[in-house]
């Protein structure tokens, strides 16, 4: 095999789903004419209803991003002290806790779901623990049953960061039904997005009302401010964009499934590469295409491949390396020692997310796969 030719233009890990400009402009015209730009206007109402419908949940509140939604969940349950969470996630997960004055306590993950291992969570619980914050990483469902049992045994709240898990279900049950609350992210890099945005799903009407108060400064009416809320509102411009994006989503999912199949076929004969999840049916948010790269006695192999791909103008990403437990503000916390997080440390050293979006052609997938093979062999 010869040396692969670099791409002329950089290939990034994702390409945000782009609705037709006409569809967006038509909606913007409505917003423009109405003069109603935020505070749960018609676009907001329409998107909230459409998402509740699609995700089969009753109590979904739009937010300006997932980080605010997670912080609102902490407030909703008046959490205090420590929250057991995963180090293998985007920084927003522990940061949302820290911004609420809560201490993240990292527990190790399961080697297959890459989500929190319930036994390790249980071992991390103390008298100060108020909740568990778990992440459905790469759209792979956590062990929701195991986590629920631990939460119940210790009388803890169970919150999910579902930023990767749009449209994912477990045995036909929508993911948003599990735990006490689930936050979603609609950032531009996520599968469904509103440029910036998010949502919080809760299980009953009373909590839903409180979430909506928390999202809008706690304002109940002109004279009553019922609680310490924040500004977590999504604007009409973002909601309008989201409705336009939603119209493209099913087609994008079909295309991404095809891209995933192409990668799996092209890389099936690489002993150093394993797919995450190993089986395409095993729950997949179609938001990332993660692989693990390992060869005995070569701890630097993933980084070598990652650097090599960059030279070919392929910008794969090492989600999530380094682990959150390695950040300066978290590294000295109870639970953060690498010896306590051996599975997560190992996965962080092997993981690589390849370029993945509907517009990626079969030819590009072939080229990227050949680059990977070349880098593994040289």
Ligand X SMILES: *Cc1c(COP(=O)(O)O)cnc(C)c1O
**Piece in contact with ligand X (CB under 6 A), picked from 14-22, 63-71, 229-237, 349-357:** 63-71
When the beta carbons of 182 and 185 are compared against ligand X, the nearer one is: 185
Instruction: Kindly state whether residue 66 participates in binding ligand X, applying the rule CB under 6 A.
Output: yes
Q: Which is nearer to ligand X, 123 or 188 (by Cβ)? A: 188
Residue 65 binds ligand X (CB under 6 A): yes
Name which of 72 and 244 has its Cβ closer to ligand X.
72
Here the tokens at position 192 are: 């469904």
**Structure-block tokens of residue 22:** 């006409």
Q: How many CA atoms lie within 13 A of 168 on its CB side?
A: 28
Size, binding site for ligand X by CB under 6 A: 14
Task: Encode burial over 146-168: b for 16+ CB neighbours within 10 A, e otherwise.
Answer: bbbebbeebebbbbbbbbbbbbb
Site for ligand X, residues 87 to 116, rule: CB under 6 A: 89-90, 92-93
Crossing angle of the two packed helices 362-377 and 249-267, in degrees rounded to 10 = 30
163 contacts ligand X (rule: CB under 6 A): yes
Q: Determine what percent of the chain falls in helix, strand and coil, rounding each to the nearest 5.
A: 40, 15, 45
Instruction: Return the residues of window 198-237 that contact ligand X according to CB under 6 A.
Output: 198
In whole angstroms, the minimum distance from the beta carbon of 175 to ligand X comes to 13
Cα–Cα distance measured from residue 325 to residue 345, given in angstroms and rounded to the nearest whole number: 10
Give the one residue of 187, 207, 210, 373 binding ligand X; rule: CB under 6 A: 187
* Residue 38 or 65 having the CB closest to ligand X: 65
User: Smallest distance from the beta carbon of 194 to ligand X, in angstroms?
Assistant: 9
Which whole-number Å values give the CA distances from 305 to 111, 267, 323, in the listed order? Answer: 22, 14, 19
DSSP-derived 3-state class of residue 248: coil
Residues making contact with ligand X (CB under 6 A) = 65-67, 89-90, 92-93, 135, 161, 163-164, 185, 187, 198
């Amino acid at each position: 095999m010869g040396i692969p030719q670099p791409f002329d233009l950089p290939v990034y890990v994702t390409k945000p789903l782009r609705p037709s400009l006409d569809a967006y402009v038509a909606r913007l015209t409505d917003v423009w004419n109405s003069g109603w730009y935020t505070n749960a206007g018609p676009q907001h109402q329409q998107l909230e209803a459409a998402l509740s419908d699609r995700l089969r949940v009753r109590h979904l509140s739009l937010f300006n991003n997932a980080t605010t939604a997670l912080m609102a969940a902490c407030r909703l349950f008046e959490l205090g002290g420590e929250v057991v969470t995963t180090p293998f996630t985007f920084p927003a997960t522990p940061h949302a806790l820290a911004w609420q004055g809560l201490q993240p306590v990292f527990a190790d993950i399961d080697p297959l779901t890459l989500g929190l291992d319930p036994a390790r969570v249980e071992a991390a619980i103390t008298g100060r623990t108020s909740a568990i914050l778990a992440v459905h990483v790469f759209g792979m469902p956590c062990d929701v049953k195991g986590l629920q049992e631990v939460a119940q045994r210790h009388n803890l709240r169970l919150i999910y960061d579902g930023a990767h898990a749009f449209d994912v279900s477990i045995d036909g049950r929508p993911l948003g039904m599990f735990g006490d609350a689930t936050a979603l992210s609609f950032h531009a890099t996520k599968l469904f997005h509103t440029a910036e945005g998010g949502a919080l799903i809760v299980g009953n009407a009373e909590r839903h009302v409180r979430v909506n108060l928390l999202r809008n400064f706690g304002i109940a009416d002109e004279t009553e401010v019922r609680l310490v809320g924040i500004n977590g509102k999504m604007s009409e411009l973002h909601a309008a964009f989201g409705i336009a994006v939603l119209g493209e989503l099913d087609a994008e999912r079909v295309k991404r499934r095809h891209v995933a199949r192409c990668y799996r076929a092209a890389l099936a004969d690489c002993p150093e590469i394993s797919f995450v999840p190993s089986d395409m049916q095993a729950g997949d948010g179609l938001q990332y295409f993660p692989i693990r790269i390992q060869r005995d006695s070569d701890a630097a192999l993933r980084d070598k491949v990652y650097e090599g791909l960059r030279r070919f103008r392929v910008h794969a990403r090492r989600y999530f390396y380094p682990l959150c437990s390695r950040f300066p503000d978290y590294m000295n916390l109870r639970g953060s020692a690498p010896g306590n997080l051996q599975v997560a440390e190992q996965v962080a050293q092997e993981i690589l997310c390849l370029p993945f979006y509907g517009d990626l052609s079969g030819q590009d997938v072939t080229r990227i796969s050949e680059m990977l093979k070349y880098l593994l062999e040289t």
